[in-house]
Structure 1
Amino acid sequence: MASPASGPQSVDRALEILDAVADAPGPVGAKALARQLGCSLSTVYHLLGPLTTRGHLLRTGEGYAPGPRAVALHRSFQRHLGLGPQLAEVLPRLRRATGAQAYVTAYRDGRIVMLDSTVPVTDSEHPFVPGPESRAHATAHGKALLAALPRTARRRYLAEHGMARFTDRTITAADRFEAEVERVRGRGYAVSVGEADPAYTCLAATLAVQSSQGVVHALSLSLPTTDFRRRHGELRAALVRAAGS
C-alpha cells in the first residue's frame, strides 16, 4: 500500500508545511494544515512526524510551531553569507548612535536577502524584516547593492525579479533606475523616500571591505520620513562612517 506521500511529492508537501507554519501568526493544527494545503489529514500526519523528530517543528498544545532547528539553520545561513561577529555588532552600535532601525543586507548569485536587523522580533508590522528581499529596486539597501554590480548583472536581476510599483514614488522603468544608480555611485550612498513603504525613508551604503565568494553587503537605516527630513545630515554621516569602518 502506498504511503500518503512519497518521493518528490512528499518533499514538496513537507516544505509547504514548514512554510505554512513559519508564516502563521501562531501554532497551527494538523487539520488546519490539511485544509490549507488541500491534502488529506493522514498525509499531513505522515509528514509532521519526521519534521518534529528532526526539530524543524515543535508540537504544542495549540498546534505546530517552528522548532529549534530553525535557529541553527538561520545562523548557518547568516554565516554562509558572511555575517560574522564584527558585522553583527555594527547594527546595535548604529541603532544607538542614530535612534533609527539598522539592517545588514547581502547580494549573492542573483539574490538579495536581509540578514539581520535591530527591529524587535515582536514587531510583526514593521515593513523591513530579515528574509528574502522582493522590493530591491524600491529600497535603499537594494539600490546600494545593485549599484555595486556590473550593469549586465543588474539588468539580469531586474529582469528576473521585476520592478513592481509599491507606492507612487517607486521607480519602475529600467532607464530611470540606471539614472538612480549613477546618483548612488556619485554620492556613495542610496536613499529611498517612501518608495517601498509610503511612511518610511531608508538610507544605505555598501561596505568598504567586501567578503569573498561574490557576496556584497550593505548597511542601511530606516525611519519615518518626517524624522528623516530634519535629520538626514547626521544620519547619512553615521551610516557612511559605519559602512567604511
Structure 2
Amino acid sequence: MPLTGPQSVDRALDLLDAVAAAPGPVTAKALARTVGCSLSTAYHLLGPLTARGHLVRTPQGYALGPRIPGLQRSFQRHLRPAPGIADVLPRLRRATGAEAYYTAYRGGLITVVDTTAPVTDTANPFTPGQEARAHATAHGKALLAELPRPARRRYLADHGMVRLTDRTITSADRFEAELATVRAQGFAVSVGEADPAYTCLAVALPQPRDDGAVHALSVSLPTADFRRRRLALTAAVTGAAAALLPAG
C-alpha cells in the first residue's frame, strides 16, 4: 500500500536527497534500496517529483530536474543579499587566488550560499548547502560571533561541536573566547579545524538586518599558502566586505 500523508512527504524528500547526493543518475531500484522502501513505493513517489520538474528520468536513472536551479535562485533572493554580492565573489577570487564564498545564518541554520569553487572540484571541503561544521569554519565563527549569546548557544546545542581534526574547538567556553577574539579583530580564521589541509578566513558583512540574518564573505586555501599570505588575504576579504556597506 503506498505511503500517504506526512510519511509519504518524508520519503519523497528522502528520494530527492538521495538523487542530489549521488554522483550521477540513480535507478529507481537503487533509490528504493537507499531510502529503505519498496520499488513500487519509490515509483509512486518519483512520479510526482518528476512531473513537477524536481527530478528528470534519463536512460541511466533519475537525476535532478530543471526546477532545482529556480529553487536555488529563489533561496538566494529570499536571503536579501547585499547589492553587488554576485560581482564580489569573482573579484575576490581574482584578487586572492583563493576560492571565495558567500554564507548566511538565518532561522537557526548556516548555509554556504554561493562559491567560486567549480562544481567539479570534489576535493573542496566547503560546498554549497547547509553547513554542519560552523564551529570549525571561519565563516561559521564570523556568523556566530554576530549573534546574541542565547541564539548562539541554541545553535551550538542544536548542532553540536563535533571534533573534526585535532585542531577543532569542542569546548563551549573556549569557543566563546574564540568569538570574542573574532569580534575584537574583525575577522575569523580557521586553520585546519574543519579539514586538516585547508585554512579559511571570513568577515561578517557590515549591513544592518531586520530579519535576524547575518551574512559573511570568506576564502579558503591550502594552509601552507595561507601562512605566507595571511596579511594580504585579510586585507582583501575585509576590503571586499567593507565595499558592500550600504550607501549613506
TM range (shorter): over 0.9
- CA distance in 1 between counterparts of 2:91 and 2:208 reads 20
Q: Provide the aligned length of Structure 1 versus Structure 2.
A: 243
1:147 aligns with 2:129: no
User: 2:150 and 2:5 mapped to 1: Cα distance?
Assistant: 38
Give the alignment's TM-score, normalised by structure 2.
0.95
Q: Which residue of 1 aligns with 2:19?
A: 21
Structure 1's unaligned 5+ residue stretches are none
CA contact (8 A) 1:21 1:28 kept: yes
SS in 2 for 1:176: helix
4+ residue stretches of structure 1 with deviation over 4 A? none
Moved more, 211-220 or 226-235: 211-220
Deviation per residue, 1:205-224 (Å, 9 max, x gap): 01111443111100001000
Give the stretch that moved more between structures: 231-240 or 118-127. Answer: 118-127
Render the CA deviation track for 1:74-115: whole Å, top value 9, x for unaligned.
Answer: 111111112366112110000001100000110112111110
TM-score, normalised on structure 1? 0.96
The amino acid of 2:67's aligned partner reads R
Aligned ranges 1:182-221 → 2 under 5 Å:
182-221=180-219
Q: Which residue of 2 aligns with 1:107?
A: 105
Aligned-partner SS, 1:217? strand
* Residues 82 and 207 in structure 2, CA contact (< 8 A), matched pair in contact too: no
Note the residue ranges of structure 2 that are not aligned, 5 or more in a row: 244-248
CA distance in 2, matches of 1:10, 1:158: 31
Distance apart, 1:145 and its partner CA: 0.5
**Secondary structure of 1:4's match?**
coil
d(CA) in 1 for partners of 2:24, 2:11: 20
Counterpart of 1:43 (choices 21, 29, 41) is 41
Match of 2:74 among 73, 76, 88: 76
Aligned sequence identity (%): 70
More moved, 133-142 vs 151-160: 151-160
